[in-house]
Amino acid sequence: MIAYYVDLALRSLRRSPVLTGLMVLAIGLGIGASMTMITVLHVMTDDPLPGRSAHLYTPHLDPLPRDYHRGENSPDPSDNLTWPDAMGLLKAKRAVRQAAMAGGTLLARPAQDGLQPFYVGGRYATADIFALFGLRFEYGGGWSSADDAAGAHVVVLADMLARKLFGRADVVGRTAHLGELDYRVIGVVADWSPAPQFYADNTGTQYSDTDRFFLPLSVAIDKDLPVNGNQSGWGSDDKAGSGKRGAEMSWLQFWVELDTPAQVAAYRQYLVDYSVEQKALGRFERPPTDAKLYSLMGWLAHENLVPDDVQLQLWLALGFLFVCMLNIVALLLAKFLRRGGEISVRRALGARRRDIFAQLAIESALIGIAGGALGLAIAQLGLWSVRHRPDDYARLAQMDPTMLAGTFVLAVLASVLASLLPAWRACRIAPALQLKAQ
Amino acid sequence: MEFRPILSSLRRHKLTASLLMLQVAFTCAIVCNVVFMVAQRIQRVSVSTGIAESELSVIHSSGIGKDESPQARHAADLAALRAIPGVRSAVAVSYSLPLNRSESSRGFCPSKEALDRAMQRNSIEGSGCMQPAVYDGTPGLVDTLGLRLVAGRDFLPDEYVDKGKPAVAIITQALAKAMYPGRSALGQSMYDGHDFIRVVGIVDTLLRPAPNQPGVAGQSMIWPQRPVDAGVLYVLRSAPQDRARILRAGRAALLAASPSRLVDPQRMKTYTQIRARYFQRDITMIGLLIAAGLGLLFVTALGIAGLANFWVQQRTRTIGIRRAIGATRGDILRYFQAENFLIVGAGVVIGAVLAVALNLLLMSRYELPRLPLWYLPVGALALWALGQLSVLAPALRAAAVPPVVATRSV
């Protein structure tokens, strides 16, 4: 029966090629614009660390004074941790794994002659970071907590930086010159660039930054290495407590691994207890319940990395699709009602309303499939142009198989939805009246 | 023109006609808002920075030699840069230029009382104090940037400092008006909690490096402090067509003067490029908005034409009968035009309401001002014109139906 309906639909569509073309074009444009923007939004809000992200959490404390007033455009200092708090949480070891970290950019001098020095971004972190985020070592390994405590001058390089500095990846034991200091290479990890860079301070360009080296955080603080991102202080200049080790400047990010709901609940309680304790000591002034524990995806939602413009573009595209659908509803209605004679004959010959409805819905679905193909082409064109924009997230704008299938599903869904009203009206044509008129 | 027969015929196609009307309404609502957003963005990207944009080029250099006095380095570099043929003047600044996003701002108060008010509220809002962006640079900055002094003078050579805070400043008119309303700012002392800084000059316009908040975008000041870091921006002024050559020559001259430094070609730009980069998202958005608006109008025009075409086919016999009993071609043509006029007319009335509603919705979620009401009649006229244009071809075809059709059976 379906084959017969498809045949009928094809005949009917071929009978009015201009109208069919118009409907395919309308749905193609609407789907193309919508899928371009849905894809962009999808890659921007996608899980940056599939498989691992469900175990990662970031604690949030509020060490700000009660009357702290934040400017309209300035970042929230309590998004990051102070040195004493980060060290406190690190030493308490209440999570399965935990690491404090901050970003930095250093001048790298290649060991090979004739190559210009260049700036490279990396991360200062404590020992657990590799296991915590699941980085894969190609050679060597990470450093230990003892190295952290001793401020050992060791470095883990990303494959790409190792090749750029030494011409090859197997460089464990060699000396890398970064900034003004020499470091012994103890490991090389495979290139790693989760997008967005969820663990970095949110002032950077998180969809395009990548870490190329990892240094012990203690070295960064001992040698006062330059730190990227937002370093917000709230103490007055002349009071002790400012500076990187101070309790009145936040600049560190902190991530923990928690594997079971019980561990999550316990950690959440621990953060509140910690805040109560700090409040009793007179350091914190705000309610201890300000302490929060964000899951990885929850943290990204909290940071709201999707720019307003991208959201606006999505709404615009959906509005466009909606108008295209209205257009198709009107055209289908006109088309179906004009076929009153044909429908009446079929009804008189015994077709049920249901059959007529199915036939018309299949006809619209065919339009949807053609529109989906056109929409896919338009969306690929749209994504290609997004990739050529200098935006931070541009390089990510690619369709994965799910989105590809989604395009067709959306196109067919939209066209079948658009056909509901016209098909229902067409089913209600009274056959006797129509036949008599002829 | 008699509307009654049209209305009674439309009543027989109630559903189809109202769908078309709805489509026109939504198109009208979206297009009005899209055009408004485009106008907003165009206004944003055409803001004046106050500097001679088309004549400036910028090179970033960072010294990596250890035992070098940065300021001696800058002076030697500037001499080398000025020697390049075509360079009219050159200065060094720490990092700030209008629209390059590297901003350093500082709180200043017109008086001690205002400072006390600000301290009390723990905020500078409403205290009379301001937080202007602070520009620094080597002597000649005002001339090289091409700023227009409207009062006072440029800095004197002995006012420049290498370390610490300068004693004088040049401020923009916007800052002068905000700090000293109703008074002349020239000669006033700005208080920053420790020292007074005297205003010696006022320039017409100098936009901030990161003008995020609209009210204070023009509030900036320059003070005579030479850059102190090894990393520095060299600003070169030349004829517009010389800029690309001067950037290349400048990089070569800097590397020749001292090889132990980084001159990143990525950070070597004409000012036009700096400006384009700042407004890059807006320019993308303008393009997208225009494309979406045109797409909507196109689809709606197709819808109107498609449906009209259909109706003409359907009514061929009726048209023939009308022609046979005396209607002229003009009558038939006008019939379809009037029908379209009615449908689109009803559509734009609903569309105007929807446009305002959509604008309110956008205002609540995004930073967007209220839609000026004159957009609505203009949008209505545009859609009416579009409707008439799209119905013209089908209507002409209808007018061409010969009366003899009436005598043929279907």
Measured between CB atoms, does B296 come within 8 Å of chain A?
A: yes
Q: pLDDT digit string (tens) for B140-172? A: 999 999 999 999 999 999 999 988 889 999 999
Choosing among B21, B124, B299, which should be mutated to test the A contact, i.e. which has the most A CBs within 10 A?
A: B299
**Looking at the domain assignment, is residue A433 inside a domain?**
yes
The residue assigned the tokens 């056909």 is: A419
A160 and A273 within one domain: yes
Is residue B56 situated within a structural domain? no
Residue of B nearest to A323 (CA): B23
Q: Which residues pair with A100 in a beta bridge?
A: A254
Which residue(s) pair with B235 in the sheet? B58, B91
Does residue B334 lie in a domain region?
yes
**B213:A69 CB<8 A:** no
Which domain-ending residue is among B203, B226, B249? Answer: B226
A241 and A327 fall within a common domain: no
Question: How many domains does the structure of chain A reveal?
Answer: 2
- Domain-terminating residue out of A256, A290, A324: A290
Same domain, A346 and A245: no
- A337 and A372 share one domain: yes
Q: Rounded to an integer, what distance in angstroms lies between the CA atom of residue A293 and that of residue A271?
A: 8
* CA-based nearest residue to B36, from B381, B408, B364, B362: B362
B16/A337 CB distance under 8 A: yes
Q: How many helices (H) and strands (E) are present in chain B, helices listed first?
A: 12, 11
Rounded to a whole number, what is the distance in Å from the CA of A421 to chain B's nearest CA? 10
Is A327–B296 a contact, with Cβ atoms under 8 angstroms apart? no
Q: Which residue has the higher pLDDT, B299 or A438?
A: B299
- Roughly what angle, to the nearest 10 degrees, separates helices B280-314 and B316-324? 60
Q: Which residue of A326, A378, A425 to mutate against B (max B Cβ within 10 Å)?
A: A326
Q: Are residues A37 and A110 in the same domain?
A: no
Tell me chain A's radius of gyration from C-alpha atoms. 30
Token pair 């007074």: residue: B196
CB contact under 8 A, B303 and A22: yes
Q: Using an 8 Å CB-CB cutoff, list chain A residues near B292.
A: 33, 316-317, 320
The predicted pLDDT at position B64 comes to 66
Last residue of a domain, one of B193, B226, B259: B226
Looking at the complex, report in whole angstroms how far the Cα of residue B156 sits from the nearest Cα belonging to chain A.
32
Q: Are residues A153 and A93 in the same domain?
A: yes
pLDDT tens digits, one per residue of A235-289: 655 455 557 888 888 899 999 999 999 999 999 999 999 999 998 888 888 888 8
- What is the model's pLDDT at position A386? 86
Sort B324 into a burial class: Cβ within 10 Å, 0-12 / 13-18 / 19+.
middle
Q: Are the Cβ atoms of A425 and B15 closer than 8 angstroms?
A: yes
Q: Does B306 touch chain A (CB under 8 A)?
A: yes
Helix (H, G, I), strand (E, B) or coil at B85: coil
Instruction: Determine, for residues B306 and A22 on separate chains, whether the beta-carbon distance falls below 8 Å.
Output: yes
B30 and B124 co-located in one domain? no
For residues A181 and A104, give the distance between their C-alpha atoms in angstroms, rounded to a whole number.
14
Spatial neighbors of A3 by CB under 8 A, at least 6 apart, are none
Contacts for A15 with CB less than 8 Å, ≥ 6 apart: none
Say yes or no: A179 and A222 in one domain: yes
Q: How many CB atoms lie within 10 A of CB B205?
A: 18
Which B-chain residues 113-152 have CB contacts (< 8 A) with chain A? 121-123
> Which of B16, B34, B280 lies closest to A330 in CB terms?
B16
Nearest to A69 among B123, B212, B285 (CB): B123
User: What would the two tokens of residue A29 be?
Assistant: 């444009």
| Residue B304 sits in the same domain as residue B403 | yes
Query: Who contacts A75 (Cβ-Cβ below 8 Å, separation ≥6)?
Result: A202, A203, A230, A232
Residues 184-203, chain B, touching A (beta carbon < 8 A): none
> Omega before A196 cis (within 30°)?
yes
Question: Smallest Cβ distance to B23: which of A317, A323, A334?
Answer: A323
Question: Which residues of chain B lie closer than 8 angstroms to A434, CB-CB?
Answer: none
Q: Are residues A236 and A374 in the same domain?
A: no
In a domain, A298, yes or no: no
For residue A38, tell me if it sits in a domain.
Answer: yes
% of residues, chain A, pLDDT over 90? 40
Q: For residue A244, what are the domain limits?
A: 62-290
Instruction: Give the residue from A230, A260, A290 where a domain finishes.
Output: A290
pLDDT tens, position by position, A16-53? 888 888 889 999 999 999 999 899 888 888 888 888 99
Residues spanned by the domain of B185: 95-226
Contact between chains at B306 and A335 (C-beta distance less than 8 A): no
Asked if the structure places residue A144 within a domain, the reply is yes
pLDDT for the residue numbered A392: 77
In terms of domains, do A91 and A38 share one?
no
A268 and A317 inside one domain: no
Question: What's the pLDDT score for residue B265?
Answer: 86
Residues of chain B where predicted confidence (pLDDT) is lower than 70: 1, 64-67, 122-123, 409-410
Is the Cβ pair B285, A18 closer than 8 Å?
no
> What percent of chain A is predicted at pLDDT more than 70?
96
Cβ separation A331–B303 shorter than 8 A? yes
- Say if A56 falls within a structural domain: no
| B175: enclosing H helix or E strand | helix B173-179
Q: What's the confidence (pLDDT) of residue A340? A: 81
Chosen domain end from B226, B255, B290? B226
Number of domains in chain B: 2
Among residues A164, A175, A174, A172, the alpha carbon closest in space to that of A188 is found at A172
Does residue A382 fall inside a structural domain?
A: yes
- Give domain status of residue B128, yes or no: yes
| Same domain, residue pair A85 and A220 | yes
Chain A contact set for B314 (CB, 8 A): 338
Confidence at residue B96, expressed as pLDDT on a 0 to 100 scale = 93
A317 chain-B contacts, CB cut-off 8 A: 292
Q: What is the pLDDT of residues A390-423, one digit of tens each?
A: 777 888 888 888 888 988 898 889 988 988 889 8
> Distance (Å) from the C-alpha of residue A327 to the closest C-alpha of chain B?
6
The residue among A228, A256, A290 that closes a domain is: A290
B213 in the same domain as B101: yes
Closest to A6 in 3D by CA, of A349, A361, A328: A361
How far is C-alpha A422 from the chain's CA centre?
39
CA distances (Å), A360 to each of A10, A109, B314, in order? 11, 70, 20
Task: State the complex-level ipTM.
Answer: 0.82
With contact defined as beta carbons under 8 Å apart, do A176 and A169 qualify? no
Selected residue of A312, A327, A392 to mutate for chain B interface (largest B Cβ count, 10 A): A327
Q: How many residues does chain A have?
A: 438
Residue B259 falls within a domain, yes or no? no
The predicted structure's pLDDT at residue A242:
59
In this predicted model, what pLDDT tens digit does every residue of A126-166 receive, in sequence order? 999 999 999 999 999 999 999 999 999 999 999 999 999 99
Q: At what angle do helices B329-365 and B14-45 cross, to 10 degrees?
A: 50
Please check whether residues A220 and A91 belong to one and the same domain. Answer: yes
* Beta-carbon-side half-sphere exposure of residue A111 (alpha carbons within 13 Å): 16
Say yes or no: B103 and B221 in one domain. yes
Give the bridge partners for A187, in sequence order.
A140, A156
The verdict on residue A356 lying in a domain is yes
In a domain, A54, yes or no: no
